[in-house]
Amino acid sequence: MIRVLLFASMLILGSRALNFQLDELTKYIDSHQEEYVETLREWVAVESDSSDVLKRAELDRMMDMTAEKMRKMGGKVEMVDIGLQELPSGKTIPLPKVVTAQFGSDPGKHTVCIYGHVDVQPAKKEDGWATEPYNLTDINGNLYGRGASDNKAPVLAWIHTVEAYQALDIDLPVNVKFIIEGMEETGSNGLDAMIVSRNDTFFSDVDYIIISDCGWLSRRPALTYGTRGNCYFFAEVEGPKQDLHSGVYGGTVIEPMTDLIGILDTLISPSGEILVPGIREAVAPLSDEEWKMYQDIEFDMENYKNKIGVSRLMYSNKVELLAHRWRYPTVSIHGIEGAFSAPGSKTVIPAKVIAKFSIRQVPDMDPAVVEKQVTDHLKAAFAKRKSPNKLKVTMIIGAKPWLADTGHPLYKAGREAVKEVFKVEPDMIREGGTIPIARTFQDVTKKSIIMLPIGGFDDGLHSQNEKMSR
Protein backbone atom coordinates (compact mmCIF):
# COMPACT_ATOMS: atom_id res chain seq x y z
CA MET A 1 0.00 0.00 0.00
CA ILE A 2 2.95 2.34 0.57
CA ARG A 3 3.49 2.13 -3.22
CA VAL A 4 0.08 3.74 -3.71
CA LEU A 5 1.05 6.54 -1.31
CA LEU A 6 4.29 7.12 -3.22
CA PHE A 7 2.51 7.27 -6.54
CA ALA A 8 -0.35 9.41 -5.24
CA SER A 9 2.08 11.96 -3.77
CA MET A 10 3.77 12.18 -7.15
CA LEU A 11 0.52 12.59 -9.05
CA ILE A 12 -0.61 15.52 -6.92
CA LEU A 13 1.99 17.61 -8.73
CA GLY A 14 1.08 16.31 -12.17
CA SER A 15 3.05 14.39 -14.80
CA ARG A 16 6.41 16.08 -14.12
CA ALA A 17 6.56 14.35 -10.73
CA LEU A 18 6.42 10.92 -12.41
CA ASN A 19 10.09 11.22 -13.34
CA PHE A 20 10.98 10.35 -9.78
CA GLN A 21 12.50 6.95 -9.10
CA LEU A 22 9.39 4.95 -8.23
CA ASP A 23 11.05 1.57 -8.84
CA GLU A 24 13.94 2.41 -6.53
CA LEU A 25 11.54 3.60 -3.84
CA THR A 26 9.36 0.49 -4.01
CA LYS A 27 12.40 -1.81 -3.90
CA TYR A 28 13.55 0.01 -0.78
CA ILE A 29 10.14 -0.44 0.82
CA ASP A 30 9.97 -4.16 0.00
CA SER A 31 13.43 -4.73 1.49
CA HIS A 32 12.47 -3.00 4.76
CA GLN A 33 9.13 -4.68 5.48
CA GLU A 34 10.43 -6.54 8.56
CA GLU A 35 11.52 -3.23 10.04
CA TYR A 36 8.05 -1.78 9.37
CA VAL A 37 6.36 -4.75 11.04
CA GLU A 38 8.59 -4.46 14.12
CA THR A 39 7.74 -0.76 14.45
CA LEU A 40 4.05 -1.60 14.23
CA ARG A 41 4.59 -4.29 16.88
CA GLU A 42 6.05 -1.65 19.23
CA TRP A 43 3.12 0.69 18.60
CA VAL A 44 0.43 -1.99 19.02
CA ALA A 45 1.98 -2.98 22.36
CA VAL A 46 0.95 0.41 23.77
CA GLU A 47 -2.59 0.19 25.19
CA SER A 48 -3.59 3.64 23.97
CA ASP A 49 -7.29 3.25 24.79
CA SER A 50 -8.69 6.79 24.81
CA SER A 51 -11.95 5.72 26.47
CA ASP A 52 -10.21 4.53 29.65
CA VAL A 53 -8.82 7.39 31.73
CA LEU A 54 -6.85 4.86 33.78
CA LYS A 55 -4.79 4.23 30.64
CA ARG A 56 -4.17 7.90 29.92
CA ALA A 57 -0.46 7.48 30.73
CA GLU A 58 -0.22 4.84 27.99
CA LEU A 59 -1.97 7.15 25.56
CA ASP A 60 0.44 9.97 26.43
CA ARG A 61 3.34 7.56 25.87
CA MET A 62 1.93 6.71 22.45
CA MET A 63 1.84 10.38 21.50
CA ASP A 64 5.46 10.76 22.68
CA MET A 65 6.51 7.76 20.57
CA THR A 66 4.81 9.23 17.51
CA ALA A 67 6.55 12.57 17.97
CA GLU A 68 9.93 10.95 18.58
CA LYS A 69 9.61 8.80 15.44
CA MET A 70 9.26 11.93 13.30
CA ARG A 71 11.88 13.91 15.22
CA LYS A 72 14.44 11.23 14.38
CA MET A 73 13.53 11.73 10.71
CA GLY A 74 14.38 15.41 10.98
CA GLY A 75 10.80 16.66 10.96
CA LYS A 76 9.80 19.95 12.51
CA VAL A 77 7.73 18.46 15.33
CA GLU A 78 5.46 20.11 17.89
CA MET A 79 3.34 18.60 20.64
CA VAL A 80 0.29 20.84 20.93
CA ASP A 81 -1.58 21.25 24.22
CA ILE A 82 -5.32 21.13 23.45
CA GLY A 83 -6.69 21.66 26.94
CA LEU A 84 -8.53 19.64 29.56
CA GLN A 85 -11.07 16.82 29.57
CA GLU A 86 -13.87 16.95 32.12
CA LEU A 87 -14.75 13.56 33.57
CA PRO A 88 -18.28 12.55 34.69
CA SER A 89 -17.13 13.08 38.29
CA GLY A 90 -16.41 16.74 37.52
CA LYS A 91 -12.66 16.22 37.78
CA THR A 92 -10.52 17.43 34.86
CA ILE A 93 -7.44 15.82 33.34
CA PRO A 94 -5.19 16.99 30.46
CA LEU A 95 -6.14 15.81 27.00
CA PRO A 96 -3.35 13.96 25.17
CA LYS A 97 -1.24 16.38 23.15
CA VAL A 98 -1.69 16.49 19.37
CA VAL A 99 1.46 15.82 17.35
CA THR A 100 2.16 18.02 14.33
CA ALA A 101 5.16 17.59 12.05
CA GLN A 102 6.47 19.14 8.85
CA PHE A 103 8.83 17.77 6.19
CA GLY A 104 9.82 20.30 3.56
CA SER A 105 8.79 23.93 3.13
CA ASP A 106 9.50 24.60 -0.55
CA PRO A 107 7.11 27.39 -1.64
CA GLY A 108 7.30 26.02 -5.19
CA LYS A 109 5.66 22.75 -4.15
CA HIS A 110 2.16 21.84 -3.06
CA THR A 111 1.71 20.93 0.60
CA VAL A 112 -0.14 17.80 1.66
CA CYS A 113 -1.38 17.34 5.23
CA ILE A 114 -1.81 13.77 6.52
CA TYR A 115 -4.31 13.23 9.35
CA GLY A 116 -4.35 10.13 11.54
CA HIS A 117 -4.83 8.93 15.10
CA VAL A 118 -3.00 6.51 17.38
CA ASP A 119 -5.63 5.90 20.06
CA VAL A 120 -7.59 2.65 19.94
CA GLN A 121 -10.83 0.99 20.97
CA PRO A 122 -10.84 -1.14 24.16
CA ALA A 123 -9.71 -4.76 23.77
CA LYS A 124 -9.39 -7.79 26.05
CA LYS A 125 -8.50 -11.39 25.21
CA GLU A 126 -11.71 -12.56 26.89
CA ASP A 127 -13.78 -10.48 24.45
CA GLY A 128 -13.21 -13.25 21.92
CA TRP A 129 -9.74 -12.54 20.56
CA ALA A 130 -7.80 -15.54 19.25
CA THR A 131 -4.54 -13.76 20.16
CA GLU A 132 -3.42 -11.25 22.78
CA PRO A 133 -4.79 -7.94 21.41
CA TYR A 134 -1.73 -5.87 22.34
CA ASN A 135 0.82 -8.39 21.09
CA LEU A 136 1.07 -8.12 17.29
CA THR A 137 0.78 -11.66 15.95
CA ASP A 138 1.58 -12.69 12.37
CA ILE A 139 -0.69 -15.49 11.12
CA ASN A 140 -0.51 -16.34 7.42
CA GLY A 141 0.54 -12.82 6.48
CA ASN A 142 -2.07 -11.10 8.64
CA LEU A 143 -0.85 -8.94 11.53
CA TYR A 144 -3.36 -9.25 14.39
CA GLY A 145 -3.51 -6.61 17.11
CA ARG A 146 -5.66 -3.77 18.43
CA GLY A 147 -5.00 -0.65 16.38
CA ALA A 148 -3.19 -2.53 13.62
CA SER A 149 -5.65 -1.30 10.99
CA ASP A 150 -7.36 1.47 12.97
CA ASN A 151 -5.17 3.51 12.76
CA LYS A 152 -1.55 2.74 13.69
CA ALA A 153 -0.42 0.92 10.54
CA PRO A 154 -1.92 3.57 8.22
CA VAL A 155 -0.17 6.36 10.18
CA LEU A 156 3.10 4.45 9.96
CA ALA A 157 2.60 3.80 6.23
CA TRP A 158 2.61 7.55 5.56
CA ILE A 159 5.60 8.10 7.86
CA HIS A 160 7.50 5.30 6.14
CA THR A 161 6.67 6.80 2.76
CA VAL A 162 8.46 10.01 3.75
CA GLU A 163 11.26 7.96 5.30
CA ALA A 164 11.83 6.07 2.03
CA TYR A 165 12.36 9.30 0.09
CA GLN A 166 14.81 10.47 2.75
CA ALA A 167 16.77 7.21 2.83
CA LEU A 168 17.34 7.32 -0.93
CA ASP A 169 18.07 11.05 -0.90
CA ILE A 170 15.19 11.73 -3.30
CA ASP A 171 13.39 15.05 -2.94
CA LEU A 172 9.81 14.78 -1.75
CA PRO A 173 7.54 15.81 -4.65
CA VAL A 174 5.37 17.70 -2.13
CA ASN A 175 5.83 19.30 1.26
CA VAL A 176 4.31 16.98 3.86
CA LYS A 177 2.65 17.90 7.14
CA PHE A 178 1.24 15.51 9.74
CA ILE A 179 -1.45 16.05 12.36
CA ILE A 180 -1.80 12.99 14.61
CA GLU A 181 -4.26 12.92 17.52
CA GLY A 182 -5.07 10.62 20.43
CA MET A 183 -8.81 11.06 21.03
CA GLU A 184 -10.45 10.08 17.74
CA GLU A 185 -12.18 7.01 19.16
CA THR A 186 -14.00 9.16 21.73
CA GLY A 187 -14.96 12.07 19.50
CA SER A 188 -11.69 13.97 18.85
CA ASN A 189 -12.09 16.07 22.01
CA GLY A 190 -10.25 19.37 21.70
CA LEU A 191 -9.18 18.92 18.09
CA ASP A 192 -11.84 21.16 16.52
CA ALA A 193 -10.67 24.13 18.59
CA MET A 194 -7.04 23.42 17.71
CA ILE A 195 -7.80 23.39 13.97
CA VAL A 196 -9.62 26.70 14.28
CA SER A 197 -6.71 28.22 16.23
CA ARG A 198 -4.10 26.95 13.75
CA ASN A 199 -6.04 27.70 10.57
CA ASP A 200 -3.99 30.82 9.77
CA THR A 201 -0.66 29.23 10.74
CA PHE A 202 -0.21 25.47 10.43
CA PHE A 203 -2.91 25.08 7.76
CA SER A 204 -2.25 28.32 5.89
CA ASP A 205 -0.01 26.73 3.22
CA VAL A 206 -1.78 23.34 3.09
CA ASP A 207 -3.29 22.56 -0.32
CA TYR A 208 -4.72 19.09 0.30
CA ILE A 209 -5.68 16.97 3.31
CA ILE A 210 -5.48 13.17 3.17
CA ILE A 211 -7.13 10.83 5.67
CA SER A 212 -6.36 7.10 5.77
CA ASP A 213 -8.61 6.12 8.67
CA CYS A 214 -10.88 3.84 6.63
CA GLY A 215 -10.87 0.54 4.70
CA TRP A 216 -11.79 -1.16 1.45
CA LEU A 217 -15.27 -2.62 0.91
CA SER A 218 -14.13 -5.80 -0.83
CA ARG A 219 -10.90 -7.23 -2.26
CA ARG A 220 -10.95 -4.40 -4.79
CA PRO A 221 -9.04 -1.25 -3.72
CA ALA A 222 -11.22 1.73 -2.89
CA LEU A 223 -11.30 5.48 -2.46
CA THR A 224 -13.70 6.90 0.13
CA TYR A 225 -15.69 10.07 -0.55
CA GLY A 226 -18.20 10.19 2.30
CA THR A 227 -18.82 9.27 5.95
CA ARG A 228 -21.85 9.38 8.20
CA GLY A 229 -22.01 11.60 11.26
CA ASN A 230 -22.96 10.45 14.73
CA CYS A 231 -25.31 11.78 17.41
CA TYR A 232 -24.70 9.76 20.58
CA PHE A 233 -27.28 9.91 23.38
CA PHE A 234 -27.73 8.97 27.01
CA ALA A 235 -31.33 8.43 28.14
CA GLU A 236 -31.49 8.21 31.95
CA VAL A 237 -34.54 7.05 33.87
CA GLU A 238 -34.39 7.47 37.65
CA GLY A 239 -36.91 6.07 40.12
CA PRO A 240 -36.50 4.80 43.72
CA LYS A 241 -33.84 6.26 45.98
CA GLN A 242 -31.98 2.95 45.97
CA ASP A 243 -31.98 -0.46 44.27
CA LEU A 244 -34.93 -2.53 45.45
CA HIS A 245 -35.66 -6.26 45.88
CA SER A 246 -38.32 -7.27 43.35
CA GLY A 247 -39.75 -9.89 45.73
CA VAL A 248 -40.51 -7.20 48.30
CA TYR A 249 -41.24 -4.15 46.16
CA GLY A 250 -42.16 -5.63 42.77
CA GLY A 251 -45.60 -4.49 41.66
CA THR A 252 -45.58 -1.48 44.02
CA VAL A 253 -43.32 0.81 41.94
CA ILE A 254 -43.00 1.58 38.25
CA GLU A 255 -39.60 0.17 37.45
CA PRO A 256 -37.13 2.51 35.68
CA MET A 257 -36.00 -0.34 33.43
CA THR A 258 -39.55 -0.90 32.22
CA ASP A 259 -39.93 2.78 31.37
CA LEU A 260 -36.56 2.82 29.62
CA ILE A 261 -37.29 -0.22 27.47
CA GLY A 262 -40.69 1.24 26.65
CA ILE A 263 -39.34 4.52 25.28
CA LEU A 264 -36.41 2.87 23.46
CA ASP A 265 -38.97 0.75 21.59
CA THR A 266 -40.39 3.94 20.07
CA LEU A 267 -37.12 4.85 18.28
CA ILE A 268 -37.13 2.30 15.45
CA SER A 269 -39.50 -0.20 13.86
CA PRO A 270 -38.73 -3.93 13.33
CA SER A 271 -38.16 -3.15 9.64
CA GLY A 272 -35.47 -0.57 10.45
CA GLU A 273 -37.56 2.57 9.93
CA ILE A 274 -36.60 5.41 12.28
CA LEU A 275 -39.73 6.57 14.09
CA VAL A 276 -38.46 9.91 15.37
CA PRO A 277 -40.42 12.61 13.44
CA GLY A 278 -38.33 14.68 11.06
CA ILE A 279 -35.30 12.38 10.79
CA ARG A 280 -36.11 10.63 7.52
CA GLU A 281 -37.50 13.81 5.95
CA ALA A 282 -34.11 15.55 6.30
CA VAL A 283 -32.16 12.95 4.27
CA ALA A 284 -30.81 14.07 0.88
CA PRO A 285 -32.48 12.10 -1.94
CA LEU A 286 -30.59 9.36 -3.80
CA SER A 287 -29.64 10.71 -7.24
CA ASP A 288 -29.53 8.69 -10.46
CA GLU A 289 -25.75 9.22 -10.64
CA GLU A 290 -25.26 7.92 -7.12
CA TRP A 291 -27.50 4.92 -7.85
CA LYS A 292 -25.29 4.04 -10.83
CA MET A 293 -22.12 4.37 -8.73
CA TYR A 294 -23.55 1.86 -6.25
CA GLN A 295 -24.39 -0.53 -9.10
CA ASP A 296 -20.75 -0.50 -10.25
CA ILE A 297 -19.27 -1.32 -6.83
CA GLU A 298 -17.85 -4.79 -6.23
CA PHE A 299 -19.83 -6.21 -3.33
CA ASP A 300 -20.93 -9.78 -2.62
CA MET A 301 -24.00 -9.83 -0.39
CA GLU A 302 -23.68 -13.53 0.38
CA ASN A 303 -20.09 -13.10 1.56
CA TYR A 304 -21.15 -10.08 3.61
CA LYS A 305 -23.94 -12.08 5.24
CA ASN A 306 -21.58 -14.94 6.07
CA LYS A 307 -18.89 -12.60 7.35
CA ILE A 308 -21.15 -10.96 9.93
CA GLY A 309 -22.82 -14.29 10.77
CA VAL A 310 -26.50 -13.69 10.04
CA SER A 311 -29.04 -15.79 8.16
CA ARG A 312 -30.95 -12.85 6.66
CA LEU A 313 -30.28 -9.21 5.81
CA MET A 314 -32.83 -6.40 5.97
CA TYR A 315 -32.42 -5.55 2.27
CA SER A 316 -32.43 -7.88 -0.71
CA ASN A 317 -30.24 -6.09 -3.27
CA LYS A 318 -26.78 -4.52 -3.32
CA VAL A 319 -27.80 -0.92 -4.00
CA GLU A 320 -30.42 -0.87 -1.26
CA LEU A 321 -28.09 -2.46 1.27
CA LEU A 322 -25.15 -0.16 0.51
CA ALA A 323 -27.42 2.89 0.56
CA HIS A 324 -28.69 2.00 4.04
CA ARG A 325 -25.15 1.29 5.20
CA TRP A 326 -23.72 4.59 3.92
CA ARG A 327 -26.22 7.29 3.07
CA TYR A 328 -29.27 6.71 5.25
CA PRO A 329 -29.42 7.25 9.04
CA THR A 330 -29.79 4.41 11.50
CA VAL A 331 -30.51 3.95 15.21
CA SER A 332 -28.27 1.62 17.24
CA ILE A 333 -28.81 0.78 20.93
CA HIS A 334 -25.41 0.05 22.47
CA GLY A 335 -26.10 -0.80 26.10
CA ILE A 336 -27.81 -0.03 29.39
CA GLU A 337 -25.78 1.17 32.35
CA GLY A 338 -27.12 0.17 35.76
CA ALA A 339 -28.83 -2.97 34.47
CA PHE A 340 -27.77 -6.33 35.90
CA SER A 341 -25.56 -8.08 33.35
CA ALA A 342 -23.31 -10.43 35.32
CA PRO A 343 -23.63 -14.24 35.10
CA GLY A 344 -26.27 -15.87 37.26
CA SER A 345 -29.57 -14.50 38.52
CA LYS A 346 -30.33 -11.43 40.58
CA THR A 347 -33.80 -10.20 41.57
CA VAL A 348 -33.10 -6.50 41.66
CA ILE A 349 -35.01 -3.40 40.60
CA PRO A 350 -32.31 -0.84 39.67
CA ALA A 351 -32.97 2.67 40.96
CA LYS A 352 -31.49 4.30 37.88
CA VAL A 353 -30.70 3.03 34.39
CA ILE A 354 -29.03 4.81 31.47
CA ALA A 355 -29.50 3.72 27.87
CA LYS A 356 -26.72 4.51 25.40
CA PHE A 357 -27.74 4.80 21.77
CA SER A 358 -26.66 6.59 18.63
CA ILE A 359 -28.10 7.89 15.38
CA ARG A 360 -25.69 7.84 12.44
CA GLN A 361 -26.57 10.91 10.43
CA VAL A 362 -26.16 11.82 6.80
CA PRO A 363 -26.56 14.85 4.50
CA ASP A 364 -28.68 16.95 5.07
CA MET A 365 -29.16 16.26 8.77
CA ASP A 366 -27.90 18.65 11.46
CA PRO A 367 -26.80 17.47 14.95
CA ALA A 368 -28.49 20.36 16.78
CA VAL A 369 -31.79 19.60 15.05
CA VAL A 370 -31.44 15.86 15.67
CA GLU A 371 -30.79 16.52 19.38
CA LYS A 372 -34.07 18.42 19.71
CA GLN A 373 -36.02 15.88 17.62
CA VAL A 374 -34.83 12.93 19.70
CA THR A 375 -35.24 14.72 23.03
CA ASP A 376 -38.75 15.89 22.18
CA HIS A 377 -39.73 12.44 20.90
CA LEU A 378 -38.49 10.55 23.98
CA LYS A 379 -40.06 13.04 26.38
CA ALA A 380 -43.39 12.74 24.57
CA ALA A 381 -43.19 8.93 24.67
CA PHE A 382 -42.30 9.06 28.38
CA ALA A 383 -45.18 11.45 29.15
CA LYS A 384 -47.65 8.97 27.65
CA ARG A 385 -46.55 6.40 30.21
CA LYS A 386 -47.68 8.70 33.08
CA SER A 387 -44.73 7.48 35.16
CA PRO A 388 -43.59 9.07 38.45
CA ASN A 389 -39.99 8.36 37.43
CA LYS A 390 -37.73 11.05 35.96
CA LEU A 391 -36.27 11.11 32.42
CA LYS A 392 -33.11 12.96 31.36
CA VAL A 393 -31.88 12.94 27.73
CA THR A 394 -28.37 14.10 26.86
CA MET A 395 -26.51 14.18 23.55
CA ILE A 396 -22.78 13.72 24.24
CA ILE A 397 -21.48 13.54 20.64
CA GLY A 398 -22.75 15.54 17.67
CA ALA A 399 -20.44 14.76 14.73
CA LYS A 400 -21.49 15.91 11.26
CA PRO A 401 -21.37 13.79 8.08
CA TRP A 402 -18.79 14.48 5.36
CA LEU A 403 -19.07 14.26 1.58
CA ALA A 404 -16.45 15.04 -1.09
CA ASP A 405 -16.50 15.79 -4.83
CA THR A 406 -15.28 12.65 -6.61
CA GLY A 407 -14.46 14.72 -9.69
CA HIS A 408 -11.77 16.71 -7.84
CA PRO A 409 -8.11 16.36 -9.02
CA LEU A 410 -7.29 14.68 -5.68
CA TYR A 411 -9.59 11.80 -6.57
CA LYS A 412 -8.11 11.66 -10.07
CA ALA A 413 -4.65 11.30 -8.50
CA GLY A 414 -5.97 8.62 -6.16
CA ARG A 415 -7.57 6.64 -8.99
CA GLU A 416 -4.40 6.82 -11.10
CA ALA A 417 -2.25 5.68 -8.16
CA VAL A 418 -4.47 2.68 -7.47
CA LYS A 419 -4.52 1.73 -11.15
CA GLU A 420 -0.72 2.00 -11.40
CA VAL A 421 -0.10 -0.28 -8.42
CA PHE A 422 -3.06 -2.69 -8.42
CA LYS A 423 -3.92 -2.60 -12.17
CA VAL A 424 -7.64 -2.11 -11.44
CA GLU A 425 -10.03 0.82 -11.10
CA PRO A 426 -10.84 1.54 -7.44
CA ASP A 427 -14.34 1.32 -6.06
CA MET A 428 -15.71 4.72 -5.07
CA ILE A 429 -17.29 4.12 -1.67
CA ARG A 430 -18.71 5.81 1.41
CA GLU A 431 -18.31 4.76 5.05
CA GLY A 432 -21.11 3.85 7.43
CA GLY A 433 -19.03 5.00 10.39
CA THR A 434 -17.92 8.44 11.48
CA ILE A 435 -14.62 10.30 11.17
CA PRO A 436 -15.62 13.49 12.98
CA ILE A 437 -12.66 15.60 11.97
CA ALA A 438 -13.25 15.33 8.21
CA ARG A 439 -16.15 17.76 8.31
CA THR A 440 -14.21 20.12 10.59
CA PHE A 441 -11.30 20.18 8.14
CA GLN A 442 -13.73 20.93 5.33
CA ASP A 443 -15.64 23.68 7.14
CA VAL A 444 -12.71 25.42 8.83
CA THR A 445 -9.75 25.12 6.45
CA LYS A 446 -11.76 25.09 3.18
CA LYS A 447 -9.11 22.67 1.85
CA SER A 448 -9.77 19.72 -0.45
CA ILE A 449 -9.91 16.34 1.31
CA ILE A 450 -9.56 12.75 0.14
CA MET A 451 -9.86 9.53 2.09
CA LEU A 452 -7.33 6.98 0.86
CA PRO A 453 -8.02 3.69 2.69
CA ILE A 454 -5.12 1.58 3.96
CA GLY A 455 -7.03 -1.37 5.33
CA GLY A 456 -8.83 -4.48 4.13
CA PHE A 457 -12.54 -5.18 4.09
CA ASP A 458 -11.96 -7.97 6.62
CA ASP A 459 -9.69 -6.09 9.04
CA GLY A 460 -12.21 -6.14 11.90
CA LEU A 461 -11.98 -2.49 12.93
CA HIS A 462 -13.40 -1.99 16.46
CA SER A 463 -14.04 -5.73 16.83
CA GLN A 464 -12.18 -8.84 17.93
CA ASN A 465 -9.16 -10.05 15.93
CA GLU A 466 -8.45 -6.73 14.26
CA LYS A 467 -5.65 -7.14 11.72
CA MET A 468 -3.65 -5.55 8.93
CA SER A 469 -2.46 -7.57 5.96
CA ARG A 470 1.34 -7.64 5.81
The answer to whether 429 and 224 are in contact (CB under 8 A) is: yes
CB 65 within 8 A of CB 43: yes
Q: Show the DSSP H helices in 12-152 as ranges.
A: 22-31, 33-44, 56-72
Strands 448-451, 208-211: parallel, antiparallel or unpaired by DSSP? Answer: parallel
3-class secondary structure, 114: strand
Q: Of these residues, 47, 150, 181, 184, which one is catalytic?
A: 184
Active-site residue 119, yes or no?
yes
249 CB-side CA count, 13 A: 15
Q: Is 95 within 8 Å of 183 (Cβ atoms)? A: yes
Reply yes or no on whether 184 is catalytic. yes
Which amino acid is present at 100?
T
Give the SS3 label for residue 118.
coil
Amino acid letter, residue 227: T
Please tell me which residue in 58, 60, 119, 259 is annotated as part of the active site: 119
CB atoms within 10 A of CB 4: 23
Q: What is the dihedral of CA 425, 320, 331, 467, to 10 degrees?
A: -30
What letter represents residue 68's amino acid? E
Q: How far apart are CA 190 and CA 296, in angstroms?
A: 39
DSSP H or E segment with residue 373 = helix 367-384
Where in the sequence numbering do the catalytic residues fall? 119, 184
